[in-house]
Structure 1
Amino acid sequence: MRVLHLASEKTWRGGEQQTAYLIEELQKLSVACHVACRKGSSFEQYCLQHQIPHIALSFSKVLPLATAYGIKEYTNKHRIDIIHMHTSNAHTMGVLAHLLGARATLILSRRVEFEIGRNAFSQFKYNYSGIKRILCVSARVCQVMAASIKDAGKCTVVYDGISLDRFATQPKENAGFLRRHYSISPDDALIGNISAIDKDKDYYTFLDTAKALKEANVKAKYIAIGKGPLEDEIKAYTRTLGLEQDVIFTGFINNIPEVLPELDLLLFTSLKEGLGTTILDAFACRVPVVATSTGGIPEIVESGKTGFLTPVKRHDLMAEKVLCIFNDPGLRDRLVQQAAQRVLMFTKEQTALKTLAVYKEVLSLH
């Protein structure tokens, strides 16, 4: 079986990591993986480093036909069986390539819970007959997707997965990067969020919760790990709340396996979230989680058992749940132990096996 993965983004975020995990695990299952990626992108570097056969294209939204033609030519030359489209832009290019004559079955991954656009092209590309399955990252995404297209039977749930090995060499007792790098006192708890600083991640609620905990005399530093378009705005809000000495903005860092186990709690405040693999990472590191009950998060976090859930934008309830965990070591231990068992259902190996089963199913239909 030959699969061409379309990776259209320039930078490396969660979706790109998931695509890389999938390729690595599919290769172990004897699937020949190829990649069409954006020229000059992080994914092109990944392909070069790992000797993955690939073609680098522009993925220009302004001149899409050149990229689509390149995908078509590569597909037919290498006798690709499946084109797996991992992003919205990749989806567009894959459909166009198919229309131009790419002789392969189309599979689409969907990682966001937004409804599809109502414009004619969005309706066309999501209902395109060449797409045989839409792999939804959670049941919630599947529900939204199924309600948005004509043939809901194309939608199926394949959860994203994490690498448990990624944290195996990072025991918590040996971690200390944040405290060393930012001169944080041993007396301060570390409460963090790892996500892009954008509208959907709602760092306003993260900061409001920090303010409430400070007023409750919790001694802590709040670590915002990530960058994004609202960074200046969120930093300004930090100053408005008088939290300049309490909140640390690290920007993007690439040593998450070292940093995450050091946190005493993950405070995940998203307004929308397809699944929330950062929560899974926290489970693997035995870091307790307080998160919003949105998107696919409730499919990971069973409130009171593997973490705590609150409605979105309820900083008061989030602060209350943080206090419950900090004030009851026995509760904390039970949460992280049960979360460590829960995460075994969400590994990259499981993702690859379920994806491969879908590949085999659609190819058997021909």
Structure 2
Amino acid sequence: MKVLHLSSEASWRGGEQQIAYLITELQKLNVDVMVACKKGSPFEDFCIQEHIPYKAINFSHQYAPGTALKIKNICNEFQADILHMHSSKSHGAGVIATLLGAKANLVLSRRVDFPVKQGKLSQFKYNFDGIKRIICVSDAIKDITARGIKDSSKLVTVHSGIDIDKFHPESVNKSILHTQFNIPTDKIIIGNTSALAPHKDYFTFINTADILLKSNKNLHFCIIGKGKLKGEIENYIQKKQLTENFTLTGFINNIPDVLPALDLFLMTSETEGLGTSILDAFASKVPVVATAAGGIPEMVIHKKTGMIAPIKDVETLAKNVKEVFADLNLQKDIVSGAFKHLHSFSKEQTALKTLEIYKQILSEKAIKS
């Protein structure tokens, strides 16, 4: 089986990490992979480093004929059975490439927590006959996407996965954050490792911290990540007079070493496809309190694998945090339950389920022919 993956983004975020995991696991399953990625992107660097066959193209616009023509040529020269599109831009480019003569079966990954737009172009590309499956990262995304898809039988759920083997929480230095960022050793650290982006809703995170600090001054909050909202977040922390209670670490690449140093992981997202940073917290054996955004409730089952609260409900979020710290048996149970639940969300499982979908498509094609 030959699969061409389209990675159109100039940055490296959760979606790109998922493509990387999928490709490397598919190779272990004897799938012949090729990548068409954006020229000069981190994904090109990844392909070079991991010796993955690739072609770098501009991906200037999702409907750019030049980009689509290059994809068509790569696809047909590679003799791809499957053309897997991993983002909106690669989706448009893949559809146009097919119209220009690319011969592969189309598969689309859908990771975002908002409906398909009703405009003619969006409706055309999402309901394009050449798309055989739309793989959604959660049941929540599947339900949202279904509203804009005429043939809902094309929709399937395959949860994103993580590399569980990277995490060894029992052997890490639990005081790494205290030492590295001069946080007093007696402080209880609550943190999040998400990008500083609007949908992560760090303002709710800060408002929850404000409530918690009114009854417990021994807390410290770490925001681990980078993003365009850094200035706004810093200003809001200052406005709430919480500067001494917060540390913005910036991007940290050794997450498996840092996450186990948290005493609690607090995710306050407003929208979320799945939220794999929660899976990282599960693997780090850190208790999780989160909002019920997108696919989060498929991971965080209340009082079994974590604690869940309505979106933007700072009072319930704060109450849940207090309950976790007050009840050590509850804390132990949710950490244990989360670690067991985690094994349904491994990168190996994601690849196996995706490969099964590829096989179904080719089997259906063989029957029709």
TM-score normalised by L of structure 1: 0.97
Deviations 1:327-361 (A, max 9, x none): 12222111101111010111111101100000000
Corresponding residue for 1:301?
300
**Aligned-partner Cα distance in 1 for 2:327–2:186:** 17
Note if contact 1:172-1:262 (Cα within 8 Å) is conserved in structure 2: no
Shift of residue 174, structure 1, vs aligned partner: 2.5
Shift of 1:294: 1.7
Q: What is the alpha-carbon distance in structure 1 between the residues aligned to residue 116 and residue 251 of structure 2? A: 30
C-alpha distance in 2 between matches for 1:326 and 1:187: 15
Equivalent position of 1:7 in the other structure: 7
Q: 2:80 — aligned with what?
A: 80
Query: Any residues of structure 2 matched to 1:1-366 within 5 Å, and which?
Result: 1-61=1-61, 64-168=64-168, 170-171=169-170, 173-366=172-365
Structure 2, gaps ≥5 residues long: none
The CA deviation string for residues 104-136 of structure 1, in whole angstroms up to 9 with x for no partner, is: 000000011210111111110000000000000
User: Aligned partners of 1:322 and 1:185: how far apart in 2?
Assistant: 21
Q: Report which stretch shifted further, 87-96 or 58-67.
A: 58-67
Q: Distance in 2 between matches of 1:96 and 1:196?
A: 32
Q: Any idea what the Cα deviations from partners look like across 1:178-234, whole Å, max 9, x if unmatched?
A: 111111122101100111212211101100111111101241211111222222111
The letter of the residue matching 2:220 is K
Code of the residue aligned with 2:298 in structure 1: it is: E
* AA aligned opposite 1:356: L
1:315 offset after TM fit, Å?
A: 1.1
3-state DSSP of counterpart to 1:171 = helix
Distance 1:261-1:152 versus aligned 2 partners, 3 A rule: same
- Secondary structure of 2:156 counterpart: strand
Q: In the alignment, is the contact (CA less than 8 A) between 1:146 and 1:153 conserved in 2?
A: no
CA contact (8 A) 1:172 1:261 kept: no
Closer/same/farther in 2, CA of residues 288 and 115 from structure 1, 3 Å limit: same
Residues 92 and 125, structure 1, Cα contact 8 Å, conserved in 2: yes
Contact preservation (8 Å) 2:62, 2:92: no
**AA aligned opposite 1:227:** K
Alpha carbons 2:118, 2:148 under 8 Å: kept: no
Contact 2:117 2:148 in 1 (8 A): no
Distance in 1 (alpha carbons) for counterparts of 2:308 and 2:253: 28
| Aligned equivalents of 2:301, 2:207: Cα separation in 1 | 24
Query: Which amino acid in 1 is paired with 2:333?
Result: R
CA positional deviation for 1:177: 2.7
> Conserved in 2, the CA contact under 8 Å of 1:86 and 1:110?
yes
SS in 2 for 1:245: helix
Q: Distance in 2 between matches of 1:89 and 1:352?
A: 23
Deviation at 1:364, TM superposition (A): 1.0
Q: Distance between the aligned counterparts of 2:210 and 2:147, measured in 1? A: 39
User: CA RMSD, aligned part only?
Assistant: 1.2
Contact 2:260–2:286 (CA under 8 A) maintained in structure 1:
yes
Q: Secondary structure at the match of 1:3?
A: strand
One-letter identity of the residue aligned with 1:251: G
| Secondary structure of residue in 2 paired with 1:36 | strand
Q: CA offsets per residue over residues 257-307 of structure 1, 9 Å max, x none?
A: 111111110000001111111111111111000000121111111101111
- Secondary structure at the aligned position of 2:36 is classed as strand
- Give the % identical residues: 50
Q: Aligned equivalents of 1:155 and 1:323: distance in 2?
A: 39
Residue 108 of structure 1 contacts residue 135 of structure 1 at CA under 8 Å; is this kept in 2? yes
3-state DSSP of counterpart to 2:34: strand
CA distance in 2, matches of 1:165, 1:99: 42
Q: 1:339 to 1:63 in 2, by over 3 A?
A: closer
Q: TM-score, normalised by structure 2?
A: 0.97
DSSP-derived class of the 1:174 partner: coil
Quickly say closer, same or farther: Cα 1:118–1:74, change in 2 above 3 A.
same
Counterpart code for 1:120: K
**1:18, 1:228 → 2: CA distance?**
19
Q: Using the TM superposition, give the Cα deviation of residue 173 of structure 1 relative to its aligned residue in structure 2, in angstroms.
A: 4.8
Distance in 2 between the 1:63 and 1:93 partners? 6
Unaligned runs of 5+ in 1: none
Q: Deviations over 1:41-76 (max 9, x none)?
A: 000000000110000000001872111111110111
